[in-house]
């Protein structure tokens, strides 16, 4: 058997949706914080670098019109001493002559065009990356000069890292705490779903009562209501099915036993004539059982809860009633019953399933022919407003106490003397309900004779498409 595809867990999806933005935020914040830390460290050390350049500029002297650097060795060691970085300097006179220090790369032409008294740029000294400041000293008694001071980047990187750690570590801890809180919130928020799953998983297949789970949030309540609604509908359908199976078994038990007995009698006969008579007695029993099975199938097919859809089309009720009345004339004549038809005189259009409406009329006419007295009268009438068909007979009047039960399944009037399954009117009522109509039994006229069943249907304009 093929394995069902793995479906993503809601808990995992929620955690991903909630924690992923936090991680992205931490990553973006780390990059921004590192850039800010580098910029802060650069500006802080740039100010120190400018101070060194100005201090070197203070040791410039003019001697005989010539600019020279008067920077004793002791002062140079103190000025350039640094435990973490190496410092280099160069002093260039206004005429381009280097008067002190070692050669450092000048600022580029593009930078020079934009520079003011002091210009910062990056370069390399002895293969090491450095930060360079170029300080322009105008003639103020010392002569014009350019002082360049370069410093390696060790302290800058260390300061940037310290700033970054001091900013990112608390944020990382905060996001870790937020992640734990989010995880706990998701687990707690989904706990009702887990309880609902456990409640459904533990239920017996025979338990179709509503599922009760305490503390269900509002978002889960519609799901729980839908499950309980499904259970209620399922209980109703299974109850109908169980009742149908039980009733069918009960109704079939007696005719099957009678057929078996009659068949055994025929088998024991040695006289061909008497065997033939016994087999002929089986024929009407088979016909009745065939009728019963047909009605049981019709009952199952027309139950409202078992019908997914009824195909409705325009049906002429007047023509359909005339067709069925004509078909039942031979059966009525066998009992000398006068079967008459009174039409509406014009087409009576309704939206319906023609096959099911024929079956309904079959059951009403079967009832009328079966229970009417020999030599009696049956009338089929059609009216247009509202669309209806009436079937009147002159059988004994149905007692008032039985009127509420005649449309129940397998209910038969005691003492009628007619054979039947008690399903005809139940089937007729269910077909009528499928069409949005109803079957009525007319009130007693007072003479105790005759019954009139009326099928009332909505017109084509009122029926649902």
Say if residues 369 and 408 touch (Cβ distance below 8 Å). Answer: no
88 vs 130: CA distance, rounded Å = 9
Q: What is the residue extent of each domain of the chain? A: 10-161, 221-301, 309-456
**pLDDT value at residue 62:** 80
**pLDDT value at residue 434:** 83
- What does CATH list as the number for 10-161? 3.30.450
Q: Which residues pair with 397 in a beta bridge?
A: none
**pLDDT value at residue 323:** 92
254 vs 245: CA distance, rounded Å = 15
**pLDDT value at residue 413:** 58
Tell me the per-residue pLDDT of 171-193, one tens digit each, with 9 for 90 and over.
788 878 888 888 887 777 777 77
Place of tokens 């060691």: 77
DSSP state for residue 72 in the 8-state scheme? -
**pLDDT value at residue 47:** 87
**pLDDT value at residue 77:** 81
**pLDDT value at residue 263:** 76
Q: Where are the alpha helices (DSSP H) in 143-271?
A: 154-201, 221-268
Q: How confident is the model at residue 322 (pLDDT cuts 50, 70, 90)?
A: very high
Angle at 384 between CA 383 and CA 385, to 5 degrees: 105
321, pLDDT greater than 80: yes
Tell me the per-residue pLDDT of 262-314, one tens digit each, with 9 for 90 and over.
777 777 777 788 777 777 777 777 766 766 666 666 666 666 554 545 678 88
Tell me the per-residue pLDDT of 364-410, one tens digit each, with 9 for 90 and over.
898 888 888 888 899 999 998 889 899 998 877 877 777 777 777 66
Q: How confident is the model at residue 9 (pLDDT cuts 50, 70, 90)?
A: low
Tell me the per-residue pLDDT of 99-116, one tens digit each, with 9 for 90 and over.
888 888 887 766 554 556
Q: How confident is the model at residue 326 (pLDDT cuts 50, 70, 90)?
A: very high
Q: How confident is the model at residue 41 (pLDDT cuts 50, 70, 90)?
A: confident
236 vs 247: CA distance, rounded Å = 16
Q: How confident is the model at residue 460 (pLDDT cuts 50, 70, 90)?
A: low
Nearest to 135 by CA among 58, 82, 208: 58
* Mean pLDDT, residues 220-249: 74
**pLDDT value at residue 463:** 45
* Mean pLDDT, residues 201-220: 72
Q: Please identify, in words, the CATH class of the domain defined by 309-456.
A: alpha beta
- Tally of helices (H runs) and strands (E runs) in the chain: 10, 14
Q: Which residues pair with 148 in a beta bridge?
A: 90, 134
Angle at 33 between CA 27 and CA 39, to 5 degrees: 145
The whole-model pTM stands at 0.47
Tell me the per-residue pLDDT of 46-60, one tens digit each, with 9 for 90 and over.
888 888 888 888 888
**Highest-confidence range of 21-30, 136-145, 199-208, 304-313, by mean pLDDT?**
21-30
Buried b (16+ CB within 10 A) or exposed e, 427-454: bbbbbbebbbbebebeeeeeeeebbbbb
8, pLDDT greater than 60: no
Tell me the per-residue pLDDT of 77-86, one tens digit each, with 9 for 90 and over.
887 888 888 8
* Mean pLDDT, residues 341-346: 89
274, containing H or E segment: helix 272-301
* Mean pLDDT, residues 352-373: 87
Provide the percentage of residues in the chain whose pLDDT is more than 90: 7
415, pLDDT greater than 50: no
63, pLDDT greater than 90: no
134, pLDDT greater than 80: yes
Q: Where are the alpha helices (DSSP H) in 315-404?
A: 317-327, 329-333, 354-371
Say if residues 251 and 300 touch (Cβ distance below 8 Å). Answer: no
Angle at 387 between CA 381 and CA 392, to 5 degrees: 25
* Mean pLDDT, residues 323-335: 90
465, pLDDT greater than 50: no
* Mean pLDDT, residues 335-344: 90
452 vs 126: CA distance, rounded Å = 120
Q: How confident is the model at residue 7 (pLDDT cuts 50, 70, 90)?
A: low
């Amino acid at each position: 058997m093929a394995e069902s595809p793995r479906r993503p867990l809601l808990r995992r999806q929620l955690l991903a949706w909630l924690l992923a933005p936090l991680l992205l935020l931490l990553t973006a914040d780390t990059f921004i914080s590192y850039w800010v830390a580098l910029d802060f460290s650069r500006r802080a050390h740039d100010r120190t670098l400018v101070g060194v350049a100005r201090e070197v500029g203070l040791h410039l002297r003019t001697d005989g019109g010539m600019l020279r650097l008067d920077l004793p060795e002791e002062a140079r060691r103190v000025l350039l001493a640094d435990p973490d970085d190496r410092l280099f300097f160069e002093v260039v006179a206004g005429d381009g002559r280097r008067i002190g220090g070692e050669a450092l790369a000048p600022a580029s032409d593009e930078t020079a065009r934009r520079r003011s008294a002091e210009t910062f740029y990056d370069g390399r000294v002895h293969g090491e990356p450095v930060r360079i400041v170029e300080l322009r000293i105008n003639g103020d008694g010392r002569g014009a000069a350019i002082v360049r001071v370069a410093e390696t980047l060790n302290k800058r990187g260390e300061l940037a890292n310290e700033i970054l750690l001091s900013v990112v570590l608390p944020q990382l801890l905060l996001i870790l705490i937020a992640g734990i809180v989010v995880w706990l919130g998701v687990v707690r928020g989904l706990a009702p779903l887990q309880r609902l799953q456990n409640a459904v998983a533990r239920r017996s297949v025979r338990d179709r009562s509503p599922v009760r789970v305490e503390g269900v949030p509002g978002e889960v309540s519609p799901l729980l209501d839908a499950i309980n609604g499904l259970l209620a509908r399922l209980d109703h359908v299974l109850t109908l099915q169980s009742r149908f199976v039980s009733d069918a078994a009960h109704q079939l038990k007696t005719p099957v036993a009678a057929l078996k007995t009659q068949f055994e009698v025929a088998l024991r006969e040695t006289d061909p004539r008497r065997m033939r008579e016994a087999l002929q007695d089986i024929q009407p029993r088979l016909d009745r059982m065939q009728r019963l099975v047909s009605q049981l199938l019709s009952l199952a097919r027309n139950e409202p809860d078992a019908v997914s859809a009824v195909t409705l089309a325009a049906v002429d009720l007047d023509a359909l009633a005339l067709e069925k009345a004509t078909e039942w004339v031979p059966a009525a004549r066998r009992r000398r019953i006068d079967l008459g038809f009174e039409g509406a005189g014009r087409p009576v259009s309704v939206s319906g399933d023609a096959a099911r409406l024929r079956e309904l009329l079959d059951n009403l006419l079967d009832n009328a022919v079966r229970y009417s007295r020999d030599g009696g009268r049956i009338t089929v009438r059609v009216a247009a407003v509202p669309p209806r068909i009436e079937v009147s007979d002159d059988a004994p009047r149905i007692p008032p106490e039985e009127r509420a039960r005649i449309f129940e399944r397998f209910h038969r009037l005691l003492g009628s003397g007619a054979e039947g399954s008690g399903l005809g009117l139940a089937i007729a009522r269910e077909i009528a309900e499928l069409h949005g109509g109803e079957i009525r039994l007319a009130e007693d006229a007072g003479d105790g004779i005759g019954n009139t069943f009326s099928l009332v249907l909505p017109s084509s304009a009122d029926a649902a498409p």
